Chain A
Amino acid sequence: MDTAFLTRWIAGIADAVRAERDRLTELDAAIGDADHGANLDRGFGAAVQALADDPPAAPGALLRLVGGTLISRVGGASGPLYGTAFREAGRSLGSSGEASEVSLADLARALRAGLDGVTRLGSAAEGDKTMVDAFAPAVRALETAVSAGAGEREAFEAAASAALAGAEATVPMVARKGRASYLGPRSAGHEDPGAASCALIFAALCTADQGHG
């Protein structure tokens, strides 16, 4: 995967977030502060613009630029979280990220580093009703696919469906982290907006892959 693939991925996320903006905001209105859709729309829109203004030469630099843009432009809790995820993913690519292409295994390792960054920053674990409930199973599915020698398409589809299942599984959970945790039992019965947006991010990997050639 090269910078063209990653640029398609980020553009695909921006499109998906824009299309689902109202749904994300409704989910956030139920248990948060009703700004998740607007915040992510602004953040990923700014990331697409940043990549167009000054296209990074390598995958690692590209992911770091996306992370930095999200941190400075999102404005809600998801800014530091997704920003850290992309920044740490970019950093973990290290010298291989400065090559023009990264392998599926490199990307899986990078997303694992991104997930580690998110869990460190937010001190969240699976079951806390956060984006980690979609992020963690998606990374595991990707890693399993890599170990099994799967191709990109199959690996991305596995990750996307694991993220979606993880997001749906947050519905009955009682939030233990983030703004929703102040609601206690009242947070049950609603899908976590961060997990929902995380599922969109992994679904966009499939779209970016299909857009290849």
Chain B
Amino acid sequence: MSIKRREFLGTVAAGSAIVTMPAFLSGCGVQQASAIADKTPANPFMDWFAVDQATVARVMSELTANGADAADLYFQHIRSNNLRLEDGIVSAASSDIQQGVGLRVVIGDQTGYAFTEDLTLPSMLAAARTASAIASRSAEVAPQSFDPMAMGALYSTSVPWADVGIDRKLPLLKMVESKAKAMDPAIDRVSVYWNDADERVMIATLDGRLVTDHRPMTRVTVTVNAKKGDEVQSGYSNIAAREDFNWYTEERLDTMVKEAVDRTMILFDARRPPAGEMPVILASGASGILLHEAIGHGMEADFNRKGTSIYSDMIGKKVAEPFVTVVDKATIPNERGALNYDDEGNAAGKTTLVENGILKSYLHDQISARQYGLNPTGSGRRESYKYAPMPRMSCTFMEDGPHTKEEIIASVDRGIICETYTNGQVQIGAGDYTFYVKNGWLVEGGKVTAPIKDVNIIGNGPESLRQITMVANDARLDTGGWTCGKNGQSVPVSQGIPTVLVSNMTVGGENVS
């Protein structure tokens, strides 16, 4: 999304570029793999992070020595593995371990933050003192023990990724490759990318709660090149979820491969649409990117408490037709954007952004919720222990409406229908947002006609909401591996939508004279 001004953070580290990657044996060292399975750990302090409760209490006390409205310790261990099949062989792998604790003090809307990767008492105390320097009140009474919350069950898996060796993954990558090559003789090159990750978090809060969560994640991407004469086209598809190895059924992989090949082969015939304003039909599923950009980010309450979002003064107002309802729901089992608890230790749930056309609720973290006098919506997320949390989306989608896909297509005399996307962005204040359409079709005289490709579409959030004139009854979540970036932090998200018609958007294209 927006606000990408910190290019320098990327460039300063250029001398020591790091590749990410992988595990195939167990043993992140802190515990045995079998201990990761999805039961609430008997003693998360020791089992997961090799610290004891007294140490955590001692650090919390230091962290809040200068006062605090809220404070938390965010222990995290992520182990991720990547594999790549290229030119017929699986010859590149990588693994990455990130372990650390983030320490945060909140006073009003002020935040002090530090982290350390060295989970010893002296290092944690030093980090706590650094974070506490934001505050200058008298010490808070810190808890001496923590009350463990029950572990959530949204993405319980039977086998942790740490127990799945390369010997099982490798044949799967090969199978994806051979399926893609078999689909069309024009396919002359296939690459397959694998990722899996086991993430464990333990959040200890100033009000004495102890939240633990085990968050698995996996994604497979296939890219293909197709060649006709001298012309080469490439395309891709991916699927992602908080799942285990058994999720990769042959049927699921077949669907992904077919999507990648279809999306690529159609590019030989696809053209640019005419440039300018026109009605735009968004096909069900991945078109949820509209919601993510046009309204989702603008409803994150950090922007609104500062007054910088176009939606800052719109709660309770009519923003769309009565058949438009948009929600952000973290509690959809196994979705990429699903969360049992957010990264502040609050139960994640469902927030209705727009209900029957009325703007209902922002997405809150603790800071904004306190400022608005509301309960947090469980939307405080962070990329890792290296960052303070902020309001973020989880699974954002629109509920079914009264129309059908066929009615919507039949209603358009001259426009386009968009099917696949690569990325989007939004300006929070002006409300202008864009998304990039990789594949779509012209719609002429109420019929889908010629394929189109590679056009950016731009609109204005509140205007587009008003211009959603039809909503079909075929809502579905996209299974692709979407990642949302905000202020330099990336988090996994999901999105979905039924087929909808936006009566007017600005479509990139060619000027026909």
A binds B: no
Chain A positions within 8 Å of B, measured between CB atoms, are none
B residues whose Cβ falls under 8 Å from a Cβ of A: none
